[in-house]
Amino acid sequence: MADPAILTVDDDPAVSRSVARDVRHRYGEHYRVVRATSGDEALGALREIKLRGDDVALLLADYRMPGMDGLQFLEAAMDLFPLARRVLLTAYADTDAAIEAINVVDLDHYLLKPWHPPEEKLYPVLDGLLEAWQAVPRSPAGEVRVVGHRWSAPSYKVRDFLARNLVPYRWLLSDDPEGERLMAAAGVGPDDVPLVVTAEGKSLVAPGPAELAAEVGLATAPAEEFYDLVVVGAGPAGLGAAVYGASEGLRTVLVEGRATGGQAGQSSRIENYLGFPDGVSGAQLTDRARRQALKFGAEMLSTRKVVGLRMAGATRLVEFDDGSSVAAHAVVLATGVAYRMLDAPGLAELTGRGVFYGSASTEAPGCVDQDVYIVGGANSAGQAAIYFSRYAKRVHLLIRGDDLARSMSRYLIDQLDRNDRVQVHPHTSVVGGAGGEHLERLTLCDARDGRRREVDASWLFVFIGAEPRTDWLDGVLARDRRGFVLTGPDLLVEGRRPAGWALPRDPYHLESSVPGVFVAGDVRADSVKRVASAVGEGAMAVSLIHRYLEAQ
- The pLDDT value recorded for residue 140 is 46
Going by CATH, does the domain composed of 144-210 fall within 3.40.30.10?
yes
- Check whether 177 has a pLDDT greater than 70: yes
pLDDT tens per residue, range 98-128: 666 665 667 888 888 778 888 988 999 999 9
User: DSSP per residue over 34-99, as a string?
Assistant: EEESSHHHHHHHHHHHHHTT--EEEEEEES--SSS-HHHHHHHHHHH-TTSEEEEEE-GGGHHHHH
CATH topology for the 348-464 domain: FAD/NAD(P)-binding domain (3.50.50)
Using pLDDT thresholds of 50, 70 and 90, give the confidence band for residue 1: low
Superfamily of domain 5-135 in CATH is: Response regulator (3.40.50.2300)
- The pLDDT value recorded for residue 532 is 92
- Check whether 88 has a pLDDT greater than 60: yes
Domain boundaries, the chain: 5-135, 144-210, 226-337+468-550, 348-464
- The runs of H, that is alpha helices, within 296-327 are none
- Check whether 308 has a pLDDT greater than 50: yes
- The pLDDT value recorded for residue 138 is 58
- Check whether 254 has a pLDDT greater than 80: yes
Using pLDDT thresholds of 50, 70 and 90, give the confidence band for residue 93: low
- Check whether 251 has a pLDDT greater than 60: yes
Who's near 7: CB < 8 A, 6+ residues apart?
A: 33, 34, 35, 36, 42, 45, 46, 56, 58, 59, 60
Helix (H) or strand (E) holding 182: helix 177-186
Same fold, 144-210 and 348-464: no
Q: Which CATH architecture has domain 226-337+468-550?
A: 3-Layer(bba) Sandwich (3.50)
